[in-house]
């Protein structure tokens, strides 16, 4: 889960027309946690009664995908797994974000320690092969 719209301005506005989307992100993460776990939101909450369906025997694991210190700190605060979106920024800020995540991590549920994934990309050019030749 990430807070960046991932689209042009018009499409982003259609998906989330509120100008304060960044400020609402922590609340939205909490709501999502309730919905996917089947725990109702508090009485009086405007989204109480909304449920994620279909329900299974397990709950999906929520990850925060971020390209800044903000996402890392939010993931650490909620005790959620965090993946740095290296492909957004070509790695700019990765050291700071991961350091903040590890330093401020508050264990929640079964995830006792912060352990961001290591992900790499690879490009491969398809090679033309001639008949009856070895690579």
Q: Tell me: the pLDDT tens digits for 74-128? A: 999 999 999 888 777 777 888 999 999 999 999 986 777 887 776 666 666 676 6
3-state DSSP assignment of residue 66? strand
Q: What pTM does this model have?
A: 0.70
Which range has highest mean pLDDT (30-34, 49-53, 106-110, 118-122)?
30-34
Buried b (16+ CB within 10 A) or exposed e, 16-50: eeeeebeeebeeebebebbbbeeeeeeeeeeeeee
Looking at residue 129, what is its pLDDT? 64
């Amino acid at each position: 889960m990430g807070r960046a719209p991932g689209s042009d301005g018009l499409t982003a506005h259609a998906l989330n027309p509120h100008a304060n989307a960044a400020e609402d992100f922590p609340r939205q993460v909490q709501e999502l946690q309730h919905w996917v776990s089947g725990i109702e939101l508090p009485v009086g909450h405007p989204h109480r009664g909304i449920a994620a369906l279909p329900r299974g025997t397990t709950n999906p694991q929520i990850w925060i995908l971020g390209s800044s210190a903000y996402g890392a700190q939010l993931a650490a605060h909620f005790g959620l797994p965090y993946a740095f979106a290296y492909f957004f920024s070509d790695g700019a800020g990765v050291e700071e974000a991961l350091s903040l995540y590890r330093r401020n991590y508050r264990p929640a549920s079964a995830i006792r320690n912060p352990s961001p994934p290591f992900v790499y990309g690879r490009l491969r050019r398809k090679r033309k092969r001639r008949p009856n030749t070895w690579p």
